[in-house]
Amino acid sequence: MDKLMLAILLLLKIFMVSTRLTTVCSSLENFSQLEQETYLLDAQFRNTSTGSLLKCVEECQMYRRCASFNFDRVSGLCIMNEKTKNESLTTDLINIKDYVFSDINVWLSKRPGACSEHNCSKTEVCEELNGTHSECVTVYCGKPPAVSKGEMIGANLDFWNINESVSYNCSPGFEPLGERVCQSDGSWSTFTCQRVVTCADLKACNNDYTDGEYWFRVKLANYQYVKVYCSGMATTSPESYITLFGENYSYFLDTDNGACSTSWSGTFEGNTTFSKVKFNPWNFSFLHGGFRFANTSGLFGNFGRTVDCRDSLSCAAKEAGSFQIDTTGTGLKVVDYLTWTDATTVTRSSNGNVITGSCRARCLYCKPTGSGFGAGAFSLEYDTSFVPDNTTAIFPVCKQ
């Protein structure tokens, strides 16, 4: 008997549900604002289960962004759209069973309650506090501000959800600083593409970085990565250097001209070796000065220069002042059109990485001159045959 009663109750429930759905479906046909069996594609921004058509209308009216809605007559799902029928493509309005569609502007503009005449923006929703008061609550951010030297990844939408983030590709020579996130007040968090060209830029990019090797993308190297040693990162004026792996020296001689003595007189003699050379990323050059990473015996000799005070004829068979520049392993080469003063004999390796010079100048400097040498700087070019080892230096990551 219990089973029979249970079956009867189950059949009665099915009948009542069926009757209710039939009543709901038939009642919605009485609304002239609705387009029956219709659904708008590619415009939805919010789904909510309202259970009834009029609740869907009221919910849509809470959002100034809501221009139309799709309503599922069976499930009571309310799908809010940010486009009207006229703002959409004709192909976006399709036929789907049990759905109705309507633009919101064909309904009464005033809804019951405190939100009946709200002036909330499209990034806000009206929320009722009680029967007579309401407030506009931010639920979206608008388009994020443009970023100098940055290009957004993906579509630049008109609206973004709270806590949603936007990613950017920064131009070569610039690194991301911060994160662009839609905040709860509708504003965007700070994000910039920070210039990282010099070691001073690196310090501004990330104050945690200490002295060491870093990869910088250099404009005059066609934005190839160049490994730069940053020195003095704990100071207010960090400096940029290139670490040298080959033999780099400046050998100065100052001997008795007449006797061609091999002993030094003590005025200009000196032998200087360089483990690093100062680097200017702006004009892509070595600076001949600087002794922070130089080891000197006697008088300091500038990078890529030498001097010899012995007579060039009577002492031709004797040792001369000399220098060597070896950029092997750095990815850089001194430009092949760089010249030295006439008293200098210069030879270059076949790959251009090694330059050796000797001097017979009668106490005059043998030094770079002319094209490729400006304001004491050796012009460089990128060695296209160089294969960098990415593990030997740090790729900068900026932090606030």
Question: What are the CA-CA distances from residue 384 to residues 283, 325, 332, 352, 387 (Å)?
Answer: 18, 19, 9, 12, 8
Q: H helices of 63-169, where?
A: none
Please say whether the beta carbons of 194 and 205 come within 8 A.
yes
* 134 beta partners: 128
pLDDT digits (tens, 9 = 90+) for 321-369: 889 999 999 999 999 999 998 888 899 999 999 999 988 766 677 889 8
- Which H/E stretch holds residue 55? helix 53-62
pTM: 0.73
Which token pair is 3?
A: 């089973």
pLDDT digits (tens, 9 = 90+) for 216-239: 999 999 999 999 999 999 999 999
> Which range has the worst mean pLDDT, 86-95, 114-123, 354-363?
354-363
**Residue with the larger pLDDT of the pair 113 and 55:** 55
Maximal C-alpha separation, the chain: 136
Domain ranges of the chain: 33-122, 212-382
pLDDT band, residue 311 (cuts 50/70/90):
low
Match 């002295």 to its residue by tokens: 211
DSSP 329: T
The residues, ordered by sequence, that sit 6+ positions from 111 with a Cβ below 8 Å of its Cβ are 57, 58, 61
Fold annotation for 33-122:
Hepatocyte Growth Factor (3.50.4)
Q: Is the pLDDT confidence value at 16 over 50?
A: no
pLDDT digits (tens, 9 = 90+) for 45-88: 999 999 999 999 999 999 999 999 999 999 999 999 999 999 99
For residue 15, the model assigns a pLDDT of 39
pLDDT digits (tens, 9 = 90+) for 265-306: 545 678 899 999 999 999 999 987 667 899 988 778 889 988
**Is beta strand 249-252 parallel, antiparallel or unpaired with respect to 321-326?**
antiparallel
Please say whether the beta carbons of 253 and 308 come within 8 A.
yes
* 169 beta partners: 151
